[in-house]
Chains A and B, each alone.
Chain A
Amino acid sequence: MLKSLLYKEWIKIRLVVWIALGLSLVALINIFLKVRHDILFVDASNYWYSFLFRGVTYFSILKFLPFIVGLAVAIAQYFPETVNKRIKLTFHLPVSENGVLIWMHSFGAGILLAVFLTVLVLFNAGSAIFFPANIIRASLLTMMPWFLGGMATYFLVALILLEPMWLFRGLYAAVAAGFVTIFYTGASIGAFEPVLAPIAVITLLLSFVVLFTGYRFRKGEM
């Protein structure tokens, strides 16, 4: 039954996942074609200089990609469940109600993580052609909060969608907006380094919060 349950989740999000991967690929190709073009025109040493001493990043188009992907996967996965309260059917399966929700949520988060890791691995491979480890490390440090922000967005949007009352949806959305903004605070290259571990832990803890509205949904909070 677990297999069928996960297959149902996959059916809901597969289109979004393929589109997300496709878009990311297009973005990455765009990034590295542009780097190649610019290096031909301004010389590699000048290109490195603008990264190191002027803070010009070559990957800024990736900034809101994780946010959009996280948002899209959460909507694709949880919005259909809220239409006519379909998720109640799932809760009637002979498994624990929390257990079902945890499986659904872990599956979605796992797929999202896989998409993000694919993007990061490809980014790393592409960067290694043009840049030394020092620049790649600084780039990954700069991008890490954006990808963590994508995960946090997924968790929080799931929370908001499963909430049965519109008033509370609005209140959660206000908190979620304030929180996700932290990940996308404008900062210089590598400036997030000291805060990466704490926000990673908070993001991990956020994976639990869907249980809260899941509970409210089940208990028919009105």
Chain B
Amino acid sequence: MIKFSRYILVAIGILVASIVLPSLYWTIFEKVPRSPNLFYSCIKDDFIVVDGSIRKSPAGKEYTSDEYEQALPFMFYRQLMADGTMPDTIKGVKMETPSIARASSFYRYTPKRTDAPVPTLWPMLESQSGKVNLAMPEDYFRIEKRMEFIVAKTNEINEEKSMLFTDALTSEGFVFPANIIAGLPTTRKSVDEGYFITDAAGSLFHVKMVKGEPYVVRIETPEKLDIVYIEAVDLRSREYYCYVFTGNQGIFVVMDEVYDLQRLPVDGFNPSIHTFRLSADLFNKCITILGENWYEAIAVDEMYQVVGTHGEKWEGLYERPEGKMLASLFPFETRMKDENSAYVRFYFKPSPGIRWMIVNLTALIVAVVLIMRRGWPLKSNIPDLLITAVTGIYGLIATQFFPNKFSKVKPPDKK
């Protein structure tokens, strides 16, 4: 039992060392990762890559500040108007501020959104109150065995309203409980469109409150979708309600009013590791999918037809000097947080390659020398040596911090 208690301590020591040492290493050596921004220019009919302070074409031609602004007239229309360089028409379309503003939008998805704790209570706003301003309701709903509204002031369930909404959901074939609930729980939006909800069977529903009555629509999907994340948006253009991210069936938008699912022309998107960006203007939408060391940009026209693609790949973390160095020093690292998740976990990251074996071997030799200098028998220290061989520096530190002296001290005779 005493030996066992020592191994618990050694294990804790290894865990702590594998968190602290790499974290210290990264604090000293970490460099800002590359994360270029992409835009599609309707003037040049080509992409513009913004990488730090450099703006260039995919072919590598660098743009000056003025060229850059003129190539993206929708992004910089106020600057261009002030300069007097804003064209009157582009592609035969007359340029007017309201229509430019209405068509412009930007959206960004990161894997952290999906892998995060989510609220289980939501406010159901009145979507047609007849008032100019939206108002927060007095109650919050949850969808578990049924849909329940809880009045915040009294902390009690409003049975009447709960029954009304539960019945409306049931009659549309909703299977309780809800899985994903997505909406914009704020009054700072142009209109209220309620919530987009998936049920226990994976079907998609639109639920809102119109003049106190439930409004429920079952949204038909072209095939059974493995929906992992939904994000409702408040577009001034009222083009679509929300983005729907699936595990491996791609990304969809749910079109406003008609509830058609439009698939975005993106392949190989993995919502648990990839970032998604979409910037829209009057003519095009520029979609960018970012991995750890690559991006793929796709430009589409207003009918979602692809008009251009561009991709780039650069050195991954473990190909760069600082990453190589880490992978040589440590056999693995442990983190409590990860850039792809909002949850705290033990994120175990094994180092690629086998260069760390050299350091592990050195650690093992040091351990052997230390044991021999103390005159301890090697035989009774085999577990320690194995631990050091596998976990390298971490194991060496942990086994020395909690020394194995059981072999040396003879147990005294019981009195």
By a beta-carbon cutoff of 8 Å, the part of chain A in contact with chain B is: 43-49, 52-53, 98, 129-132, 134-135, 138, 159, 168, 171-172, 174-175, 178-179, 182, 185, 187-195, 198, 202, 205-206, 208-212, 214-216, 219, 221
Contacts and interface: CB of A to CB of B under 8 A. Distances in A.
Contacts of B16: 175, 178-179
Which of B9, B139, B185 has the most A CB atoms < 10 Å from its CB?
B9
B383 to A, nearest CB: 15
B336 A212 contact: no
Interface stretch (B73-81, B92-100, B119-127): B119-127
B15 A53 contact: no
Interface residues of B, number: 48
26 contacts: A45-B136, A52-B121, A52-B122, A52-B140, A53-B185, A98-B1, A130-B155, A132-B140, A132-B155, A134-B120, A174-B401, A175-B12, A175-B398, A187-B337, A188-B117, A190-B117, A191-B117, A191-B342, A193-B117, A194-B343, A195-B346, A205-B8, A211-B1, A211-B2, A215-B2, A219-B405
A175 B399 CA distance: 12
B155 A131 contact: yes
- 5 shortest A-B CB distances, which residue pairs? A190-B117, A178-B16, A44-B152, A45-B152, A52-B119
Given A45-B152, A52-B121, A178-B19, A193 B142 contact: no
Q: Is the interface of A mostly helix, strand, loop or mixed?
A: helix
B13 interface: yes
Given A134-B120, A219-B405, 12 more contacts: A43-B152, A45-B136, A52-B119, A52-B140, A175-B398, A187-B337, A190-B117, A191-B344, A192-B343, A194-B343, A208-B8, A211-B5
B5 A208 contact: yes
B290 interface: no
Interface of B: 1-2, 4-6, 8-9, 12-13, 15-17, 19-20, 116-117, 119-123, 136-140, 142, 150, 152-153, 155, 185-186, 336-337, 342-346, 398, 401-403, 405-406, 409, 412
Contact of B138 (A45, A175, A187): A45
Contacts of B342: 188, 191
Contacts of B412: 219
B9 A212 contact: yes
Contacts of B1: 98, 208, 211
A212 B136 CA distance: 59
